Structure 1
Amino acid sequence: MEYSARYITEDIKLSSYEDKFFKSDIMFDQHMLVWFLSGETKIVQADATYFFREGDIFLIPRNQLATIINYPKEGQPHKTVVMHLSVERLRDFYAGKNIKPQSPKCQKIYHFSNHPLLESCLASLIPYFDMKDIPGDIASIKITEAISILRTLDQEIDQVLANFEEPGKISLVDYMEKHFMFNLPMEQFGYLTGRSLTTFKRDFKKAFSTTPQRWLIQKRLELAHYQLAEKKKKPLDVCYEVGFENLSHFSFAFKKRFGYAPSHLYDKNIGY
C-alpha cells in the first residue's frame, strides 16, 4: 500500500492511498469530516453499510467502530480531504453556548452529499497543501467555519459535537454481540464498554465462559457462513466484513470449523 498525506496542521490533511485496496478496523477518537476527491470507500458498521465516492462529504463521529475499505476507481487513487474536529477545539467552540446534549440514540455516519457550502469550505483548503508558509490561524478559522456550516445543515448535530462524555460502563454481552466483527485490540473493547482491560477480560470470562479471542473467531465464522450461504456474498467480501485480516487466514479457519472452504460454499450457491 502506498500512502501519502500532506498537512496544513495535524487536524487537516490531504490523504491518498495509491494501492488497489486498503482495509482497516478503526475506532475514531476524534470526529472526522471527510470530503471525497476520488476513489471509493465502503464503511461497515454494526447496523449499516455506507458507500462513498467522488463528491461525497460525510462526518464520522468519535468513539464509533467501523470497518473502512478503500478502493481506487478508474485509475484514480483514493484521495480525501480530512478535517479532525477534536474535543478540545469543540469545547472552545461551544464554550458559553447553553447546549446540554443528550447521548445519541444510535451510532451513525452523517452524509452531506455534494453540499455547496461544505464543499466550498473544504475546497478552499486545497491551495494550502502546496504552501510552505501557511497563516497560523487558517486551520482554526476553517474548522470553525466547517462546524458552523454543519450546525446550519443539521440542527441535531449539536447532540454529537457538543457531547464530551467518555463511554460509561454498559452491558458487555449486548455490546460484544453487536460489534464482534470489528478487529480491535481488547483494550479498546474495554474502553468502549467502560472497563479496564483486566475488568473486561474478567467480565467476559464470566459472561461467555471462554476467552475473547476464541469467542470472536467463533462468532465471525458463524456470521461468515450465514453471509455465504444465505446472502450469497463472495468470500473476499465476507472475509473483511466479518473481521478477518486476510483471505488465507479466513479460509483456513473456516475450513477447520466447517470442513470445507468458503469458496466451495460460494461455488455451490452459484451453481458451479
Structure 2
Amino acid sequence: MSAANYHIGVISPEQFIAEHTFVYIIKGVMHIYDGSKNYMLKSGECGIARKNHFARYKKEKENGELEKVFVFFDEKFLRMFQEKHKTTALKFKSNETILRISKNNLMPNFIQSLLPYYDHGKINEAFADLKREELLIILLQTQPGLAGLFFDYGIPEKVNIEEFMNRNFKFNVSIERYAFMTGRSLSAFKRDFKITFKDTPNHWLVKKRLQEAHFLIEEKNKRPSEIYLELGFETLPHFSFAFKKQFGLTPTELACRKKKTCT
C-alpha cells in the first residue's frame, strides 16, 4: 500500500504551524523537531501541533506503509464552535509544541469513521466541519484543559530576538514569519535585528547556517547531503555554492579532506 495522508485543510510547505493541527498516526512513525526538542508519534498515537510554532517532520514507514490523519482547526471554525457550545477557557500553561492526547476508546473509532468520507486523500467538504466538530468535542472531553489552547486567539508576544533566532535559525521560513513569531512588525524586526546582531536578517541567517554546516561536517562527520535541508537550504547545489563562497571549498571537499579521501 502506498503512503496515505488524510487531512482536513491545507498542509503548509513552510516549516511553520499556522493553525492548531491534530495529528493521528495510523501506521508508521512521525518524528517532529521544534528547534529545541524532539517529539515522536507512533502508530495509534496522536497529538496537537500548536499554531505559531516552527516544526520539522520526518516520517518512517511501518512494514512499507505510512498512513496519517491531519485535521486543521482554523480560527474562524474555532470561534464558531465556541459560540455554538458556549465554551469557556482558562489560560493554557504548557509551552510544548506538540501536545500528546491521552489514549481513549473514542479516538480510534473516530478515525475509522473518517475514512469512508475520503476521496483521494481529501475529505468530502460537505462533512468536513461536522467531523471537525465531532473531533473537537472528543478532544475537549478527553482533556478539558485544551480549551485554553484552542480558544486563545492572541498573537505571539514580543520575545528576546537573540535567543529566538539562535534557537530557530535552521528553519527555512520567510523573514516576515520570523518577525511575526518574535512579536514584531517587519520594520521593527529588522531594526531590532540590526541592533542585536549588527547585520541584516538574510545575511546573518545564511552565515549562521553555513557556520553550523561547517561544524557538523568537520566535527561531527556529517555528510553534506544529510544536513543541507535541516539547515534551511532548499537544494544541495545552492548549499554547495554558498558554502564555497563562504569558506573557499565545497562541503564535499571539506568532508573528504577531513576523512583524507580527497584525490
- TM interval, short-chain normalised: 0.7 to 0.9
Q: In 2, are the aligned partners of 1:24 and 1:67 still within 8 Å (CA)?
A: no
| AA partner of residue 90 (structure 1) | L
Q: In 1, are the aligned partners of 2:4 and 2:67 still within 8 Å (CA)?
A: no
Give the superposition deviation at 1:52: 4.3
> In structure 1, which of residues 173, 190, 194 is the aligned counterpart of residue 183 of structure 2?
194
Please give the alpha-carbon distance, in whole angstroms, between the structure 2 residues aligned to 1:240 and 1:79: 23
Greater percentage in helix: 2
Please give the alpha-carbon distance, in whole angstroms, between the structure 2 residues aligned to 1:54 and 1:268: 42
Give the superposition deviation at 1:63: 0.7
1:65 counterpart = 2:59: no
Please give the alpha-carbon distance, in whole angstroms, between the structure 1 residues aligned to 2:197 and 2:19: 31
The 3 A distance-change label for structure 1 pair 74 and 178 is same
> In structure 2, which of residues 64, 69, 84 is the aligned counterpart of residue 81 of structure 1?
69
Please give the alpha-carbon distance, in whole angstroms, between the structure 1 residues aligned to 2:218 and 2:40: 24
The normalised TM-score by structure 2 is 0.78
| AA partner of residue 91 (structure 2) | P
Alignment of 1:1-272 (within 5 A): 11=8, 24-38=13-27, 41-52=30-41, 54-70=43-59, 76=65, 79-95=67-83, 96-102=86-92, 104-112=93-101, 116-130=105-119, 136=126, 138-266=127-255
| AA partner of residue 184 (structure 1) | V
Give the superposition deviation at 1:155: 5.0
| Matched positions, count | 257
The 3 A distance-change label for structure 1 pair 135 and 72 is closer
SS of the residue 1:241 aligns to: coil
SS of the residue 2:36 aligns to: coil
SS of the residue 2:52 aligns to: coil
Identity %: 29
Per-residue Cα deviation, 1:124-172 (whole angstroms, up to 9, x for no partner): 11101149x9694x43442233223323444543332232211132222
- Could you say what the CA RMSD is over the residues aligned between the two structures, in angstroms? 3.6
Q: In 1, are the aligned partners of 2:140 and 2:147 still within 8 Å (CA)?
A: yes
SS of the residue 1:257 aligns to: helix
Give the superposition deviation at 1:270: 6.8
Please give the alpha-carbon distance, in whole angstroms, between the structure 2 residues aligned to 1:172 and 1:135: 41
Q: In 2, are the aligned partners of 1:25 and 1:68 still within 8 Å (CA)?
A: no
For structure 2, the 5+ residue unaligned runs are none
For structure 1, the 5+ residue unaligned runs are 16-22
Q: In 1, are the aligned partners of 2:30 and 2:40 still within 8 Å (CA)?
A: yes
Q: In 1, are the aligned partners of 2:89 and 2:151 still within 8 Å (CA)?
A: yes
The normalised TM-score by structure 1 is 0.76
Q: In 2, are the aligned partners of 1:25 and 1:66 still within 8 Å (CA)?
A: no
